[in-house]
Amino acid sequence: MNRDIDKEIHNEAHGMTSIVKTVARFLMGIIFIFGAYIILYGHLTPGGGFAGGIILACGYILLTMSFGKEIGLRKLTDNWASILDNTGALLFLVIGLLGFTAGSFFLNFLGKGNIFDLFSAGTIPLNNIAIGIKVLASVFAVFIALSIFGRVVSDYVEDEEV
Amino acid sequence: MQGYYPLFTALPLAMAFLNLLVSKLSKKVSDYFAFLVMAVLAGMSIKMLFVQPFTYQVGGWAPPWGILLVSDGLSSMILAVINIIGLLSMVFSISYMNTYTAKPKYYTLFLLMVAGMNGVVITGDFFNMYVFLEIASIASYALVGFGCEREELEASFKYLILGGVASTAVLFGIAFLYSMTGTLNMPDVAHQLEFMEMNRAIAFVLAMFIMGFGLKASTVPFHAWLPDAHPSAPAPISAMLSGVLIKALGVYAIARVMFHVFGPNDMISAIMMFLGALSMLVGVIMAVGQSDFKRMLAYHSISQMGYVTIGLGLGLNPNVSPAIAAFGLLGGLFHLANHAVFKSCLFLSSGSFEFRTGTRNKFEMGGLIRRMPVTSATCSIASLSISGVPPFNGFWSKLIIIAAFIQAALYSQGDSKVWFMIYGIIAVFVAFMTLISFVRLQKSVIFGKLPERFASLREAPFSMVVPLIILAALCLGIGIAYPFIHDTLLEAAKDALLDKVSYVNLLIGS
Amino acid sequence: MILYFLSLALFVMGLYCLVAKKNIIKKVIGIVITEYSINMFLILVGYRDGGIAPVLMKGMDNSEIAAGSVDPLPQALVLTSIVIGLGVLALMVSICLRLYEKYKTFDMSEIKRLRG
């Protein structure tokens, strides 16, 4: 997966300098692991789907900003971001709707398990994962959409300066 | 039916997201998809009219801790209004939205807006209400600017800023209430407030709620966004905004909070009646001079919402006899439903005219009855209805409100006698001005000389004409069947709103 | 008590920024400041002196949380309101950029095709 990123590190045509790229390359993996940890342990420690999703999205945003938009969009295209966005929201709602099978909307119908276990608290970890996907995709999509606009605006600024 | 109450928000929310996924495979499907969802929702809401009041605990959590959903006469009535008007607007937009790009995204935003409004109506929890209010508001900001032209973006930005202030005010009020009572459950808050005297903190909360919900309902000092936002939106969205959104987010929320949580109160009643009278006068005076068809209708929305607010204000008054207060309240609620019907009919007609003629300036149109007979006929019927001509529905609700104020003036003493009389006279005067304004509209758009360039116009497409005919039939039907509507719908809604005790008891009973 | 007044002052500052500034980006910043002042107020409502974080750790008893923690509900509300604020902010900024695209200015006094 990372071979094309390695190739890009010394390519000054896209993105920022190779110092930024090297540091970003090093930090990326840590950020993703941390985000996944925050999402998966959301029901035991502070954090959860939203916070973890934002962290994951920040990882992608870091990638896009330091390596340029072409590399960033190669990892997560805007089409896939939109699909993941809708899928995450749907997953969350489907978990809520499955509660109807046990009697009530958003009923926690799975076994609660032992406290402090990773697999406990019924549907709550699943909800966290769904929200994490949704937040990751939608924040990244917002970033991409605004960066497209940003180019339009900076074009105008350059026009005015000329 | 009771077990599926949360579906009123869950279904449109789920379908909004599913719609975007499906539209990646085929664009055509999302038309049918959105129509089907709204049809199911409208069917469910009609069925809800015949269900006894009940409560629903989300996730099986007992009331003061979990989210409580409440169904009573009032919420069933508003749900029916939202979902039926929503269905008709949806049918209208199938052809109308062909002139815009990104139709699936439009449907998604539409369904999100419906989900938010349904959520505001069914919930019994303050914070949940705020969240749904924001969902509906954000969807409507985006829908107002959907065309992405200059005027639309400007109107959308204005609406966004003022709507943002309104949401902040509502959240501030909720935070204050939480700090006083330590709960967010509406019946529980009402229960806790019964032990408190009126103090400055409660007055602050009231001020914040009146400002926040008043901005959403666009009563007059807070009306600046409405005349820009409503004409700029696509016609079916104008119909939804004017017909439903300002009622569900503004008037319904304020009625629920004031009647059930704070209870009848002299000060709130005086403020609401004053704001209502001001809205009626300012709206109608501004409307007379407008040349833009939809902008004129938007000003009339402000004016007609004044009737609703003034009716609710009389209902909140503890000093007049309960029968008169109930009568005024009934008039206000009836006018709410009627306004949804005739105003959405008018906005959809204006959209239909715009679709064929390409202009919104009413002085550029003329003689359209010869080219577009059905749209012209429905537009005339709705105009007669909004001006309060018997036997259409607008006549009855205006009559009830005016009669209630005259009775209140006759049977009360002192200062308030004069005020009630003034409000009654204003209501009559505004009805008269509305009639003048709409007669002028008819003269310049439907009758008169047909301009040369419109000689080859055709009637609007089938899917645009059908909702217009249904809405016009509703205008006439509700007017004629008034005694039936009164006994079944309005009495239940009015009793639910006046019965604070049983609302508080929901906490124990469920 | 002083903190409550600070959050109120922040609210008033946000409103001032919203009303007095002509630049639409500054208006957006004003909205965000008012939102955050409310968030701060909500956190203060749930705060208690010397309270612990409302998280159940290993070796802790439920009653320990109930007796000594700050109120967790306002924190959940603030999280929700931050999420909503994020959505509104993204929409506002994109509308500002679209407005710039059409009018080539951020000055509200020059964006006035709609009147009355």
pLDDT at A158: 54
Q: Are the CB atoms for B312 and B332 separated by under 8 Å?
A: yes
Is C21 contained in some domain? yes
Burial A7-36 (b: 16+ CB within 10 A, else e): ebbeeeeebeeeeebeebbeebeebbebbe
**CATH number of the domain where residue C45 is located:** 1.10.287.3510
- DSSP label at residue C51: P
Calpha distance B187→B185 (Å, rounded): 6
Residues of A in contact with C56 (CB under 8 A): 115
Sign of the alpha-carbon torsion through B186, B503, B118, B343: negative
Interface membership of A50 toward C (CB under 8 Å): yes
pLDDT tens readout for residues A87-102:
888 888 888 888 888 7
The total of structural domains in chain A comes to 1
Q: Which residues, 6+ apart, have CB-to-CB distance to B168 below 8 Å?
A: B212, C31, C34, C35, C38
All partners of chain B with 3 or more CB pairs under 8 angstroms: A, C
CB contact (8 A) between residue C94 and residue A150: no
pLDDT tens readout for residues B445-467:
888 888 888 777 888 888 889 99
The total of structural domains in chain C comes to 1
CB contact (8 A) between residue B17 and residue A93: yes
Is C26 contained in some domain? yes
Calpha distance B216→A122 (Å, rounded): 39
Calpha distance B171→B421 (Å, rounded): 37
pLDDT tens readout for residues B149-182:
888 888 999 999 999 999 999 999 999 899 888 8
Q: Which residues, 6+ apart, have CB-to-CB distance to B169 below 8 Å?
A: B208, B209, B211, B212, B215
Tell me the nearest-neighbour CA distance from B138 into chain C, angstroms: 7
**Phi, psi of B71, rounded to the nearest 5 degrees:** -120, 125
* DSSP-derived secondary structure for A127-156: HHHHHHHHHHHHHHHHHHHHHHHHHHHHHH
Tokens of B463: 């899917």
* Confidence class for position B213, pLDDT limits 50, 70, 90: very high
Instruction: Give the ipTM of the model, two decimals please.
Output: 0.93
Cβ count within 10 A of residue C19: 11
Tokens of B173: 């009020």
pLDDT at A117: 73
Of B154, B178, B286, the CB nearest to C111: B154
CB contact (8 A) between residue B127 and residue C98: no
Give the range of the structural domain holding residue A65, as residue numbers without chain letter: 3-161
CB contact (8 A) between residue A93 and residue B14: yes
Is C16 contained in some domain? yes
Is C116 contained in some domain? no
Q: Mean pLDDT per 10-residue run, chain C (116 residues)?
A: 87 90 90 92 85 79 79 88 91 88 82 66
Tell me the nearest-neighbour CA distance from A110 into chain B, angstroms: 12
Q: Which helix (H) or strand (E) holds B69?
A: strand B68-71
In chain A, which among 98-127 make CB contacts under 8 A with chain C?
115-116
pLDDT at B427: 92
pLDDT tens readout for residues A103-113:
777 777 777 77
Give the range of the structural domain holding residue C53, as residue numbers without chain letter: 2-110
CA distances to B302, B416, B436, C62, C95 from B220, rounded to whole Å, are: 7, 22, 21, 52, 26
- Residue C6's nearest CA partner among C55, C43, C48 is C43
pLDDT tens readout for residues B189-208:
888 888 888 888 889 999 99
Distance spanning both ends of chain C, measured CA to CA: 44
- Map out the domains of chain B as residue ranges: 1-166+224-248, 265-501
Interface membership of C48 toward B (CB under 8 Å): no
Calpha distance B364→B358 (Å, rounded): 10
Mean pLDDT, residues B353-375: 84
pLDDT at C33: 93
